[in-house]
Every structure is written in structure tokens, then in C-alpha cells.
Amino acid sequence: MHISAEELKKNAQLILSEIKDKSLSNKERTAIPLQEMPAQDPKIRINNMEEVAQGYSREQALVESRRCLQCASAPCVEGCPVQINIPGFIKAIEEENFEKSIGVIKEASLLPSICGRVCPQESQCQEKCTVGKIFKDPNKSVSIGRLERFVADWEASEAKRSIPEIKPSTGKKVAVIGSGPAGITAAADIAKEGHEVVVFEAFHKPGGVMIYGIPEFRLPKKIVEDEIETLKKMNVTIKQNFLVGRSRTLKDLLEKDGFSAVFIGTGAGLPKFMGIEGENLVGVFSANEYLTRSNLMKAYKKDTAATPIYPSKKVMVFGGGNVAMDAARTAIRLGAEEVSIVYRRTEAEMPARIEEVAHAKEEGIKFRLLENASKIIGDEKGRVKAVELVTFELGEPDASGRRRPVQVKGSEHVVEADTVIVAIGNESNPLIKQTTQELEVNKYGNIIVDENCKTSMDRVYAGGDIVLGAATVILAMGEGRKAAAAINKLL
């Protein structure tokens, strides 16, 4: 049953009236109910691109902050890739000092409004939370991400966005390749030290995966644009439509253009496919292309968009991660009558966030578990008309720790579909490596770095998905921060 934001606010007001002026024991704190995130009604939201999660009210944030035990050991910080002082920012919320709270977060993270929305806190900071461990249920941990989002949104609504302090100019220049989360974080930390920073972005809009990959209903693009503006106010230059490896090589930047160091944060944007018959049919898309058309090129605005998107009635999305959820939920908003997510394991093994799976189910998306495609079938015009699926059962765990899917013999069956979206992961773009032979990469094309994010080339560092493979926004930020510290030390 859908509970409105107003009802959740009223419930929080009642709790707050009982506990606000009390000195709470740990036992009393753990008795406070977890505050649910208000969300758009599923019946309404499938017809728009507006943000689904609506954010805590002030009352909810004040109640949720009181669930924090302020542990002296702060295990939650250990789970944060950028080491935010989590007890500190939550304590400031409890004291209703939101300006102090956002200040604490920004000591470690430039992107709280983004991380508060899309980071998998349940497998990072919240997984370590003592409250969750008391209940033996990580879903009952303090809602760290929701509180981070609350203060970030408060800062934006109060027009109190602060610009980090910049040291006097050093006269040294650093190139950052890619304007995704790793690049933005590295650029900010390097600029703070007084170095001139130039960010090179291949697309016509900066923001990386946050712009082209994550849908508007999960991360409004205005938020990313505001964060980019903060970067520009820090005197960081952003050059768009600039493809390093084509416009200039890595060596050009170092040897001809006067850069003292380079950070590579190009992400993992090369989509993987399934390698089955029929993947070249009209109506088969990588999730990258499908989401880029919708998110970056605004193809969902069918009357005004210059870039079209394929009209679909029956869509099958292959994969079980957040990207698969994003593609499926986008397809339903674009008017598909039936959307199915096909995954060869069970829901328990799905890498997608629990919240994203729940939202997809609420929106009427079907889950075909323990199935996968063996062939895509086309009509006489070369368009997708059906998919041959096979059934799986789970065997012993594989190298990932998840139980290995084993195909059931003779289980082939054909299901009608007119669109297939492949969301089974990405690999690194090989362009920079192709034009820079000295750069060492592993067999997957990921750049090899040391503990300080330094590559095999002098003065060249790398981080984020180009090193880790497809990961998360906050992990990429952590890599950007580590590399920036090494570059600042070098300079």
C-alpha cells in the first residue's frame, strides 16, 4: 500500500513531539521506527520522468537522526569509500544545524546530493551500522544515504551552496580526462590546492554516467548540472566534445600542452553483449545506447527531441543490476505495454539495489528469473519478433560467490517480444590504450594502477570504472580522491 509523503510527515511529527527534548538512551534510540522514504504513487510515476523518491521531510530527518547511536568506533565510516564523518553530520542534523551538517559532508565529498540518491549505502556504510547489527537486519540500519540527501537538498533550497576554499595559484596545470564522478572529485581536490585544472569531456554535456546513464526519475539532471557549476566556480575549465585519443593523445597533453600530470577517469562505457544469434536485429539495444538516447538526448520528449527512440510494446531486458532496472523502468515510461527483466539466477543473487528492484515491481515490471536468452528471433524485415529462452537451475557457488546457473536440458521456449535491451555490464573504452602503447592494462582493458592510482606512465594516474570495471559512483569518487592526493603530493 502506498503511503503519502504527508502521512509519513505526520507520523514523524507525532514521534518527534515525544522524543525531541529528551536525552535518549541507546535502547530508546533503537526503539525509534525507521523512517520510510516518501515516493510518488506508482500508478502516477510510470507516466512521468519526475523523481520517484521524494526525500525526507524536516520532521522525518530529525526523527531518523535520533536513531544513530553515535558509536565511538564509527564502523559506518569504515564502509564509506570517501570516509565521510557520518556520526558528525548526523549529530548536526539532530541539533538542527543543517549548515554544519552539510559542511561536515563536504569535507570529504563534493557530491552529497548525488551520492545520497544513487549510492548503494546498504552494501557500504549502512551495512556496517551498529543499529542494523543489533536487529541483525541491514535494512534496519540508520538511513545514512537519505539523511545525506536531506541536508544536500536543504542546502540547495536555501541557496547556501558553498564553494570550497582555493589556495593561491601554483602555476601548475593538470588534465582530467572524463567528467564523471571520479573526474569531478579529482578535479575538485586538485583545484583546491591551487593547481589549474582542465577537464576533457567527450560528450557535449559534462557529468559522465550521471548524465547519460542514470535516468531523470532516479537522479534529476539539474542536480548534476548544479554540481558541475560548483566545479566551474572553483576555476576548473571544462572542454566538451573533446575526445582524448583522437582530439589529442595522452602524450600530446604531457609533452606539448604543458600539463604537469594527467588523471584518467573515462569510465567503462563499452557495452557487453550476449554473443547469441540475432543480436544484430533491429530492436536490439545495449542499455548504454537506450539510456543515453533517453537521458542525454531527452528522447522521451517525443515531440521535441532530435534523437528518436525505438517504439516498443513488449520489451525484454537482460541483466540483474541497477542498469537493467533503469532500462526496464525507462521502457515502461516510454509507453511499453509489457516489460520483463530476464535474469539467469534468482532475486537473491541480483546485484541491483533492493530499493530499485522494489520500485520496478511496484511499476508493474515482470521478473523472469532463472531464465536467459539462447537466440533472438527476427521477422522478414529483420526486426525482433520473439526471444528463445532457456531455463536454469542453481548449482554450486562460482568465483563470484554466487551459485552458478546451470542450464536445464530441453528447456527452450519462445516468448514474443519486439525489443531487447542488453544490460549485462560494460568494459573499458580501448581508445586511450590504442593511442598510448606505454599504458599497461589487464586482459579486460582496465588500466593497471598501484596503491596511489599511478599508472605505468610517469605523471599519469587513473581511477574509477576504467580501473575497477563497472562499479558505483561513490567507489569512483574514492578513487578520484586517492589519485588527487597522489597528484597533489607529486606537484
- Residue 362 lies inside a defined structural domain of this protein: yes
Give 176's strand partners: 199, 263
Q: In terms of domains, do 257 and 277 share one?
A: no
- Asked whether the predicted pLDDT for residue 437 surpasses 90, the reply is no
Picking from 167, 188, 165, 164, the residue whose alpha carbon sits closest to that of residue 176 is 188
Residue range 187-201: mean pLDDT, rounded: 97
446 and 413 share one domain: no
Please check whether residue 261 is in contact with residue 459, taking contact to mean a CB–CB distance below 8 angstroms.
Answer: yes
Confidence label for 235 from pLDDT (cuts 50, 70 and 90): very high
H helices of 286-396, where? 287-295, 322-333, 354-362
Q: What CATH number is given to the structural domain containing 445? A: 3.50.50.60
In a domain, 166, yes or no: no
From CA 188, how far away is CA 197, in angstroms rounded?
A: 9
Q: Strands 261-264, 173-177: parallel, antiparallel or unpaired by DSSP?
A: parallel
Query: Domain check: are 300 and 402 in the same one?
Result: yes
Confidence of residue 431 (pLDDT cuts 50, 70, 90): confident
In a domain, 243, yes or no: yes
Pair 126, 245 in one domain: no
pLDDT-derived band of residue 433, with 50, 70 and 90 as boundaries?
A: confident
Look at residue 163 and tell me if it is in a domain: no
With 80 as the cut, is the pLDDT of residue 470 above it?
no
Confidence label for 204 from pLDDT (cuts 50, 70 and 90): very high
pLDDT tens-digit readout, 63-98: 999 999 999 999 999 999 889 999 999 999 999 999
Answer whether 0.85 is exceeded by the pTM. yes
Task: Name residue 297's amino acid.
Answer: M
Give 334's DSSP letter: T
Closest C-alpha among 120, 121, 143 to residue 67: 143
Q: Which of 385, 406, 424 is the last residue of a domain?
A: 424
pLDDT at 471 over 80: no
Number of C-beta neighbours around residue 100 at 10 A: 15
**Is the domain of 282 the same as that of 385?**
yes
What's the confidence (pLDDT) of residue 51?
Answer: 97
pLDDT in tens, 292-328: 999 999 988 888 888 889 999 999 999 999 999 999 9
Q: Is residue 27 part of a domain?
A: yes
Q: Please count the structural domains in the chain.
A: 3
Using pLDDT thresholds of 50, 70 and 90, give the confidence band for residue 1.
confident
Single out the residue in 424, 440, 471 at which a domain terminates. Answer: 424
Q: pLDDT for 109-167, tens place per residue?
A: 889 999 999 999 998 999 999 999 999 998 899 999 999 999 999 999 887 777 888 99
Q: Which DSSP letter does residue 294 get?
A: H
Q: With beta carbons less than 8 A apart as the criterion, state whether 447 and 291 touch.
A: no
* Alpha helices, H only, 123-236: 130-135, 144-157, 181-192, 209-212, 221-233
Calculate ∠ Cα 35-55-67, nearest 5°. 30
* Long-range residue pairs from 6-9, CB within 8 A, at least 24 positions apart, any chain: 8/35, 8/36, 8/38, 8/57, 8/60, 9/38, 9/57, 9/59, 9/60
CA–CA separation, 397 and 259 (whole Å): 48
DSSP one-letter code for 383? B
Half-sphere exposure of 418 (CA within 13 A, CB side): 10
Q: How confident is the model at residue 398 (pLDDT cuts 50, 70, 90)?
A: confident
**Is there a single domain that holds both residue 443 and residue 416?**
no
Residue 393 forms part of a structural domain:
yes
Q: Which long-range contacts (CB under 8 A, 24 or more apart) does 157-161 make?
A: 160/99, 160/102, 161/226, 161/230
Residues 309, 299 contacting (CB under 8 angstroms): yes
For β-strands 460-462 and 419-422, DSSP reports them as unpaired
- The verdict on 335 and 284 lying in the same domain is yes
Measuring CA to CA, which residue among 201, 180, 202, 195 is closest to residue 260? 195
**Pair type for strands 173-177 and 196-200:** parallel
Q: Residue 131: which CATH number?
A: 1.10.1060.10
Nearest to 78 by CA among 471, 400, 478: 478
**pLDDT score recorded for residue 355:** 92
Per-residue pLDDT at 138? 86
What pLDDT is attached to residue 430? 82
Which helix or strand (DSSP H or E) is residue 136 part of? Answer: none
Please give the single-letter amino acid code of residue 270: L
Specify whether the CB–CB gap between 173 and 261 falls below 8 A: no
Mean of pLDDT values over 444-459: 94
pLDDT at 468 over 80: yes
Averaged pLDDT of the chain? 94
345 and 284, same structural domain?
A: yes
The string of pLDDT tens digits covering residues 240-293 is 999 999 999 999 999 999 999 999 999 888 899 999 999 999 999 999 999 999
Domain shared by 246 and 368, yes or no: no
Please tell me the distance from the alpha carbon of residue 272 to that of residue 427, in angstroms, as a whole number. Answer: 7
Grid cell of 304 as nine digits: 521535441
% of the chain exceeding 90 in pLDDT: 83
Q: Is 312 helix (H, G, I), strand (E, B) or coil?
A: coil
pLDDT band of residue 380 (cuts 50, 70, 90) is: very high
Q: Which residues pair with 173 in a beta bridge?
A: 196
Predicted confidence (pLDDT) per residue in 5-45, tens digit: 999 999 999 999 999 888 999 999 999 999 999 999 999 99
Instruction: Give the mean model confidence (pLDDT) for residues 180-204.
Output: 96
Q: Is residue 50 part of a domain?
A: yes
Q: Is residue 167 part of a domain?
A: no
Provide the residue range defining the domain that includes 292: 273-424
Q: Do 436 and 419 fall within a single domain?
A: no
What mean pLDDT is predicted for residues 421-435? 89
Domain termination residue (choose one: 366, 399, 424) = 424
Say whether both 478 and 381 belong to one domain: no
- pLDDT recorded at residue 260: 98
3-state helix, strand, coil in the chain (%, to 5): 35, 20, 45
Residue 239: per-residue pLDDT: 97
- What pLDDT score was predicted for residue 303? 83
**Residue 51 and residue 143 share a domain:** yes
CA gap 60, 57 in Å, rounded: 5
Which pLDDT value is given to residue 472?
A: 82
- The per-residue pLDDT for 311 is 92
What contacts 460, CB < 8 A, 6 or more positions away? 250, 254, 261, 262, 264, 439, 454
